[in-house]
Amino acid sequence: MVFLDSRCSNNWTAQDYTKNLLEMIREWRAKSARIVCMTDEYVGQDTMPWQSFLRNAFVTAKVEMPEYIEFRRQRRWGDKVRRQVETAALWKQGKVKLVDDTSHLDKLIDQMTKIGKAKHDDFADAACDVFEDGVYQAMSRLAPESNATTSNPFDDILKPGPRRVEAAEKIAEMYAAQEALVGRFDVVQAE
């Protein structure tokens, strides 16, 4: 996963959101970016009107709508924390690339370094969706290992300044401290 861009506002109407979404999709497709899907979370109400609204907006704008994937999960605090800790592990494994000039990167890093403690966690929660079944599929090598190098959030290449070094270190520390907590949030059915 590569975190390239984000736009957000607590004051947007559905029309504002859709306008920004369409602009972003047009911009990234113009740069030859492949947009695999859009994700959303079922919040206990009929979401068909929202899906229909989005489809209509895309048709009207003559933009191909990416696949819409809705996650139906129970909204328990421990489940969200577990997903975020699991995602932090994938960051540590190099599955996430951070581009330094990305808008709202500071918010994502802040939320990923304060799992379970951040006042808001929308960016971290969205980052978790990328690794959900139906969105993410692990790639396997078809050819023998080469000498090619890759970068991840813990490499000096992607953290040129002290701020990025500090963020990478916080994520590594948080991951180490939280790794043991994953099992604490397992749900056990009462008999």
**What confidence tens digit (pLDDT) does each residue in 94-153 have?**
888 887 788 888 898 899 888 888 888 888 888 888 888 778 776 655 555 555 555 555
The predicted pLDDT at position 18 comes to 94
Structure tokens at 84: 């975020």
Q: What is the mean pLDDT of the chain?
A: 77
Residue 165's SS3 state is helix
10 Å Cβ neighbour count for 23?
A: 13
The predicted pLDDT at position 175 comes to 65
Please list the residues that pair with 41 across neighbouring strands. 71
Pairing between β-strand 97-98 and β-strand 37-41 as defined by DSSP bridges: unpaired
Q: Please compute Rg for the chain using Cα positions.
A: 18
The predicted pLDDT at position 75 comes to 65
